[in-house]
A and B are shown apart, each in its own frame.
Chain A
């Protein structure tokens, strides 16, 4: 404690050891994950996002949507995520391997969006939801804010691309 070097060494280890164990080892464990078929020969999931959805993700990030919306479904028994219809199964790490950045979120001031695309097929409903009863009307033009701007179109495409309703090797859906 009286020696600066041993004090600094102790603090360094206290920072570096958790970093190595928590972060680096999960990178080793999860880093190689990629899209994979649930059964041999099946389709690869998660599938690549369309370009418009990638643009929409940038809109989502820029507006700070992540401060009110999560994108993760907890396993049954922890909260009511599945009972609420946020998803048909719990989210797994593989679902996120193509997402840059990963937007798991920390608050649910609004509903979870991990499976928004799977539960909302109607584009008009998506645009109504984006407007939040008149909060995000700057994304729309026209007399009644009925014409979506390019950003609103991209955002809607992104929201509709959000889905975890497929089987993956770690989380198979019951047939």
Chain B
């Protein structure tokens, strides 16, 4: 880490890292582990609920908990969705974004207790919100189901826990910036804005009538694209060149990818309202923005797949645990971009509307892309922070294969099943009972893939927690005085 190293660094390549625990890393270790451990616990909870939800959906008329009010599908589905997004997705990206920008900006987190405090608030508010969902107190807006008093606490907790990457960016010692930094700054800045405005207009001072639905669609698209999407893109931009030890190919295009992504993401929301009683111009804006997202999808495809394609990159990626997950995610993002552009259009949307298709697209973005990238990043970061090795290679294999298979199976079931379902719904002569019958096969696939995902997550958790427990890191040098 010398001065000359900084100025000579080629474009499109993150700075060289130190294989030992750096001072930067040792200072963020505490908050990182808090975020990470909470993330994995919530991921496990969400996966258990995912299995129950899949079973219940598979047998509409019954399910294992047919007469238990607390476990009706409406409660389970909402709790699962919120735990996955706010429990896993947010905690895990708090940890990764903080680590990433501290590394890239050589930032020493001196007030780590503030981040820890934010993490504690975040997880307490989340627990409270989920308990209330089970108790029958929810708002009816997906991903804003928590009763409104939870919102301000989550917002404050976000500022304490999730704002550090921006501080790290502001305090970086060099003028040079890297693509990962832009995306993380965007994610950390856009989310609190979006969340506060959505809370205000949907729960505290509800806008009139369907404007609530419009504000909600805007919120959901921002949450998914600008938090999950941008954070995960930042990680791919970092880990691909880092682990392969080469520059991103076509890196000069990355600023275009960044700005086109950030500029179009915010307009895509109303595409989820095609056919709804909202002004037509809104729906058209959503369609156009969805189609325009193909630009960042193509550029990131050139950046990522170009980097992977040269000099046996794919086979090296396959043999490296981190890159195996990260490149799975990179491919998923390209698929997401293409699907999103094609299925924004009215003709297709009229078929897929109200089916599981949208859930499939969301799963593609938040799981096959963002979560797989998070897994890959963990395999890179955690050994550095704990100073020990992953306890079991077998568990890593179980983790990869069950999550990869589970992700592909569930996405295919949601997308293809959604399309078939939509075709039947469009034909008024097919009754609802017939439709329910023909979705049984896809529901079975969904149940099996939910179990696969749970198995993968258990393997991941065992490995990660085993590693944290046996780590001898507290004694390591450079620990905060």
B and A form one assembly = yes
Residues of A within 8 A of B (CB): 1-2, 4, 7-8, 10-12, 14-19, 21-23, 26-27, 29-31, 33, 61-68, 70, 72, 74-75, 77-80, 83-84, 90-97, 99-111, 132-138
Which listed residue, A23, A64, A105, A107, touches B211 by the CB 8 Å rule?
A23
Contact A67 B277 (CB under 8 A): no
Contact A8 B189 (CB under 8 A): yes
9 residue pairs bridging A and B, Cβ less than 8 Å apart? A4-B169, A8-B185, A15-B193, A30-B210, A74-B350, A99-B209, A102-B213, A104-B210, A104-B213
Closest 8 CB pairs of A and B: A64-B74, A83-B428, A18-B266, A74-B275, A133-B61, A108-B354, A62-B136, A80-B428
Query: Which chain B residue shows the least CB distance to A29?
Result: B279
Q: How far is the CA of A135 from the CA of B354 in the complex (A)?
A: 22
Which listed residue, B137, B210, B358, touches A96 by the CB 8 Å rule?
B210
- Within the complex, the shortest CB–CB distance from A168 to chain B, in Å, comes to 11
Contact with A along B200-225 (1 / 0, CB 8 A): 01100011111111110010001000
Using known A-B contacts A14-B262, A63-B136, determine if residue A31 contacts B207 with beta carbons closer than 8 Å.
yes
Contact B73 A79 (CB under 8 A): no
**For residue B270, which residues in chain A have a CB less than 8 angstroms away from its CB?**
22
Q: How far is the CA of A93 from the CA of B137 in the complex (A)?
A: 27
Please tell me if B176 contacts chain A, counting CB pairs below 8 Å. yes
Q: How far is the CA of A139 from the CA of B3 in the complex (A)?
A: 71
- Within the complex, the shortest CB–CB distance from B76 to chain A, in Å, comes to 8
- Within the complex, the shortest CB–CB distance from A108 to chain B, in Å, comes to 4
Q: How far is the CA of A10 from the CA of B141 in the complex (A)?
A: 29
**For residue B353, which residues in chain A have a CB less than 8 angstroms away from its CB?**
74, 78-79
Which listed residue, A94, A103, A137, touches B140 by the CB 8 Å rule?
A103
Using known A-B contacts A22-B218, A79-B275, determine if residue A135 contacts B61 with beta carbons closer than 8 Å.
yes
- Within the complex, the shortest CB–CB distance from B202 to chain A, in Å, comes to 8
Q: How far is the CA of A18 from the CA of B285 in the complex (A)?
A: 10
**For residue B481, which residues in chain A have a CB less than 8 angstroms away from its CB?**
none
Contact A78 B262 (CB under 8 A): no
- CB contacts under 8 Å to A, within B41-89, are 57, 60-63, 66-69, 72-75, 77-78
Please tell me if B175 contacts chain A, counting CB pairs below 8 Å. yes
Contact A11 B262 (CB under 8 A): yes
Q: How far is the CA of A12 from the CA of B185 in the complex (A)?
A: 11
Please tell me if B405 contacts chain A, counting CB pairs below 8 Å. no
**For residue B354, which residues in chain A have a CB less than 8 angstroms away from its CB?**
70, 79, 105-108
Contact A11 B218 (CB under 8 A): no
Q: How far is the CA of A154 from the CA of B305 in the complex (A)?
A: 57
**For residue B212, which residues in chain A have a CB less than 8 angstroms away from its CB?**
101-102
**For residue A70, which residues in chain B have a CB less than 8 angstroms away from its CB?**
354
Q: How far is the CA of A78 from the CA of B275 in the complex (A)?
A: 7
Which listed residue, B60, B190, B213, touches A132 by the CB 8 Å rule?
B60
Q: How far is the CA of A65 from the CA of B397 in the complex (A)?
A: 39
**For residue A79, which residues in chain B have a CB less than 8 angstroms away from its CB?**
275, 350-351, 353-354, 425-426
**For residue B193, which residues in chain A have a CB less than 8 angstroms away from its CB?**
12, 15-16
Please tell me if B345 contacts chain A, counting CB pairs below 8 Å. no
Contact B276 A104 (CB under 8 A): yes
**For residue B186, which residues in chain A have a CB less than 8 angstroms away from its CB?**
11, 14
Q: A23-B211, A66-B74, A104-B276 are in contact. List 11 more A-B contacts (CB 8 A).
A: A2-B176, A4-B170, A15-B190, A15-B226, A22-B270, A22-B282, A27-B207, A74-B350, A96-B209, A106-B272, A107-B355
Using known A-B contacts A1-B182, A31-B208, A80-B427, determine if residue A23 contacts B201 with beta carbons closer than 8 Å.
yes
Please tell me if B138 contacts chain A, counting CB pairs below 8 Å. yes
Q: How far is the CA of A8 from the CA of B193 in the complex (A)?
A: 12
Which listed residue, A4, A80, A92, touches B277 by the CB 8 Å rule?
A92
Q: How far is the CA of A53 from the CA of B69 in the complex (A)?
A: 21
Which listed residue, A16, A22, A68, touches B74 by the CB 8 Å rule?
A68
- CB contacts under 8 Å to A, within B162-194, are 166, 169-170, 175-177, 182, 185-186, 189-190, 193-194
Please tell me if B267 contacts chain A, counting CB pairs below 8 Å. yes
Please tell me if B332 contacts chain A, counting CB pairs below 8 Å. no
**For residue A99, which residues in chain B have a CB less than 8 angstroms away from its CB?**
209
Contact A27 B208 (CB under 8 A): yes
Using known A-B contacts A33-B209, A100-B206, determine if residue A64 contacts B278 with beta carbons closer than 8 Å.
no
- Within the complex, the shortest CB–CB distance from A15 to chain B, in Å, comes to 5
Which listed residue, A8, A19, A31, A66, touches B197 by the CB 8 Å rule?
A19
